[in-house]
Structure 1
Amino acid sequence: MSEHHPGTESAPTALAADDPYEIGGYRLHARLGSGGMGVVYLAYTPGGRPIALKAVRREFAADPEFRERFAQEVASARRIHGLFTAQVVDSGVDDRTPWLATAYVPGPSLHEVVRRHGPLPARTVLLLVAGIAEALQAIHGAGVVHRDLKPANVLVAGDGPRVIDFGIARAADAAALTGTGLRIGTAAFMAPEQALGLRVTPATDVFALGALAAYVAGGAPPFGNGPESGALYRVVHEHPDLTRVPPDLHDLISWCLAKRPGDRPATAELIASVHAHPEVGPRPEFTEGWLPGPVREEVGGPVDAGPSAPVHARATRAARVAGGLHVPTVAEAAAPAPAAFAQAAPAPAPLAGPAGPVAPARGSRSGRRTPGRGRRIPPTTAAAVAATLLACAGAVYYLDGPVGDETGTGGSSVTPSHPPTASGPASPSPSAAESASGYVPGYVRARLTAPDSGYEFDLKAGKVVAAETAAWYLARDGRAFLPSEDSDAFVTEAGDLTVAACVRGIETRPAAALPFDALGKERPFCVRSPDRGEIAIVRLVEAAADGSVTIVADQYRRS
Structure 2
Amino acid sequence: MHEVGTDELDGSPIWLVADGADLVAGVTAIERIAVGARCETWLGWSRPLWCPALVKLGRPGRRPQSLTREVAALDGNPHPALPRLLAADLDVETPYVITEFVVGEALDELAPFDIGTAALVTVELLAAVRALHGRGLAHLDVKPENVLVRAGRPVLLDFGSARPLGRRQPAGHPVGTPGFAAPEMEECRPISAAMDVFGVGATVLASLAGSPQAETTCTAGDVLEARPDLADDPGARALLDVLAAMTAEVGERPTVTAALVAVADLFDPACRPWPVGLTPGPPNRVDHGPAAVLVAVKRPASHDQQREG
TM-score by length of structure 1 reads: 0.40
- Tell me the alpha carbon deviations over residues 150-183 of structure 1, each in whole angstroms, 9 at most, x when there is no partner: 11111101141111123x2147xxxx9699xx86
Q: Which moved more, 1:243-252 or 1:99-108?
A: 243-252
Amino acid at match of 2:226: R
The corresponding residue for 1:145 is 138
Deviation of 1:18 (Å):
2.6
- Tell me the alpha carbon deviations over residues 201-244 of structure 1, each in whole angstroms, 9 at most, x when there is no partner: 1110110111101111111259x43xxxxx4xx79xx9974433
Once residues 221 and 76 of structure 1 are traced to their aligned partners in structure 2, the CA distance between those partners, rounded to angstroms, is 25
Larger gyration radius, structure 1 or structure 2: 1
The corresponding residue for 1:275 is 264
Once residues 178 and 90 of structure 1 are traced to their aligned partners in structure 2, the CA distance between those partners, rounded to angstroms, is 34
Q: 1:39 and 2:40 equivalent?
A: yes
1:277-316 matches, within 5 Å, as: 277=266, 280-281=268-269, 284-285=272-273
Amino acid at match of 1:200: I
Contact 1:153 1:165 in 2 (8 A): yes
- Tell me the alpha carbon deviations over residues 416-436 of structure 1, each in whole angstroms, 9 at most, x when there is no partner: xxxxxxxxxxxxxxxxxxxxx
1:181-260 matches, within 5 Å, as: 184-220=175-211, 224-225=214-215, 231=216, 241-242=222-223, 243-244=225-226, 246-247=230-231, 248=237, 249-260=239-250
SS of residue paired to 2:138: coil
Once residues 57 and 185 of structure 1 are traced to their aligned partners in structure 2, the CA distance between those partners, rounded to angstroms, is 22
Once residues 148 and 184 of structure 1 are traced to their aligned partners in structure 2, the CA distance between those partners, rounded to angstroms, is 8
The corresponding residue for 2:161 is 169
Q: 1:135 and 2:133 equivalent?
A: no
1:56-67 matches, within 5 Å, as: 56-58=58-60, 60-61=62-63, 66-67=64-65
Once residues 178 and 198 of structure 1 are traced to their aligned partners in structure 2, the CA distance between those partners, rounded to angstroms, is 9
Identity of aligned residues (%): 25
Contact 2:220 2:243 in 1 (8 A): no
Once residues 18 and 178 of structure 1 are traced to their aligned partners in structure 2, the CA distance between those partners, rounded to angstroms, is 37
Deviation of 1:97 (Å):
2.2
Count of residues paired in the alignment: 244
Once residues 98 and 81 of structure 1 are traced to their aligned partners in structure 2, the CA distance between those partners, rounded to angstroms, is 23
- Tell me the alpha carbon deviations over residues 452-479 of structure 1, each in whole angstroms, 9 at most, x when there is no partner: xxxxxxxxxxxxxxxxxxxxxxxxxxxx
Once residues 108 and 184 of structure 1 are traced to their aligned partners in structure 2, the CA distance between those partners, rounded to angstroms, is 25
Once residues 69 and 87 of structure 2 are traced to their aligned partners in structure 1, the CA distance between those partners, rounded to angstroms, is 14
Contact 1:50 1:103 in 2 (8 A): yes
Contact 2:132 2:138 in 1 (8 A): yes
Contact 2:171 2:188 in 1 (8 A): no
1:335-414 matches, within 5 Å, as: none
Once residues 275 and 55 of structure 1 are traced to their aligned partners in structure 2, the CA distance between those partners, rounded to angstroms, is 39
Q: 1:83 and 2:80 equivalent?
A: yes
SS of residue paired to 1:27: strand
Root-mean-square deviation (CA), in Å?
A: 3.2
Amino acid at match of 2:77: I
The corresponding residue for 1:329 is none
Deviation of 1:251 (Å):
0.4
Once residues 178 and 70 of structure 1 are traced to their aligned partners in structure 2, the CA distance between those partners, rounded to angstroms, is 23
Once residues 69 and 35 of structure 2 are traced to their aligned partners in structure 1, the CA distance between those partners, rounded to angstroms, is 22
Say which structure is richer in helix. 2
Contact 2:175 2:186 in 1 (8 A): no
- Tell me the alpha carbon deviations over residues 324-361 of structure 1, each in whole angstroms, 9 at most, x when there is no partner: xxxxxxxxxxxxxxxxxxxxxxxxxxxxxxxxxxxxxx
Once residues 71 and 108 of structure 1 are traced to their aligned partners in structure 2, the CA distance between those partners, rounded to angstroms, is 27
The corresponding residue for 2:55 is 53
Once residues 59 and 196 of structure 1 are traced to their aligned partners in structure 2, the CA distance between those partners, rounded to angstroms, is 32
TM-aligned CA distance change 1:266 to 1:23, over 3 Å = same
1:524-543 matches, within 5 Å, as: none
Once residues 188 and 95 of structure 1 are traced to their aligned partners in structure 2, the CA distance between those partners, rounded to angstroms, is 37
Once residues 69 and 260 of structure 2 are traced to their aligned partners in structure 1, the CA distance between those partners, rounded to angstroms, is 29
Deviation of 1:274 (Å):
2.2
Deviation of 1:82 (Å):
0.3
Deviation of 1:29 (Å):
1.4
Once residues 240 and 94 of structure 1 are traced to their aligned partners in structure 2, the CA distance between those partners, rounded to angstroms, is 49
Can you give the 5+ residue segments of structure 1 that lack an aligned partner in the other structure? 1-15, 226-230, 287-559
The corresponding residue for 1:124 is 117
Once residues 72 and 265 of structure 1 are traced to their aligned partners in structure 2, the CA distance between those partners, rounded to angstroms, is 26
TM-aligned CA distance change 1:177 to 1:98, over 3 Å = farther
SS of residue paired to 2:105: coil
Contact 1:77 1:142 in 2 (8 A): no
1:411-426 matches, within 5 Å, as: none
Deviation of 1:57 (Å):
3.0
TM-aligned CA distance change 1:250 to 1:285, over 3 Å = same
Q: 1:265 and 2:254 equivalent?
A: yes
Amino acid at match of 1:163: L
Once residues 40 and 140 of structure 2 are traced to their aligned partners in structure 1, the CA distance between those partners, rounded to angstroms, is 20
Contact 1:211 1:221 in 2 (8 A): no
- Tell me the alpha carbon deviations over residues 123-149 of structure 1, each in whole angstroms, 9 at most, x when there is no partner: 110011111111112121122210111
SS of residue paired to 1:270: helix
Contact 2:209 2:222 in 1 (8 A): no
- Tell me the alpha carbon deviations over residues 462-502 of structure 1, each in whole angstroms, 9 at most, x when there is no partner: xxxxxxxxxxxxxxxxxxxxxxxxxxxxxxxxxxxxxxxxx
The corresponding residue for 1:23 is 23
TM-score by length of structure 2 reads: 0.69
